Amino acid sequence: MKILHVSAAALIDIDGRVLLTQRPEGKSMAGLWEFPGGKIEVGETPEQALIRELHEELGINTWSSCLAPLTFASHSYEDFHLLMPLFACRKWEGIPHGKEGQSLKWVRPNQLKDYPMPPADLPIVPILRDWL
């Protein structure tokens, strides 16, 4: 089975809310909410991939020193196995906005469970809630 390496961030604002992005129409699992991030390209570290993806998707800049490893997801889908480190990030430049037309929502940790998410993201929710 193919292993897909993805890197994601829990962007945490000054009020302790977490940013979720909604998967756009036309993508697999469209309409579900997830932590921003994306595929790790050949030759990239998870941190480099996340910095690139946050810039491409949300128009923000951050640095490796601002990415704290928090937890990871490991989940088998039908066609591949997803391995996804999740980093906590509290410092970035710019205001996150959906550069690819995706909806964004700042969510309190105890309300994360109210947003439908891909199966791989679900085990992260209680870890993040308890940590925050």
Amino acid at site 47: E
Task: Determine contact, residues 8/85, Cβ cutoff 8 Å.
Answer: yes
Q: How far apart are CA 85 and CA 48, in angstroms?
A: 12
**So what's the architecture of 2-131 in CATH?**
Alpha-Beta Complex (3.90)
For the chain, 132 residues long, give each residue's pLDDT as a single digit of tens.
Answer: 999 999 999 999 999 999 999 998 888 899 999 999 999 999 999 999 999 999 999 999 999 999 999 999 999 999 999 999 999 999 999 999 999 889 999 999 999 999 999 999 999 999 999 999
Output the pTM of the full model: 0.94
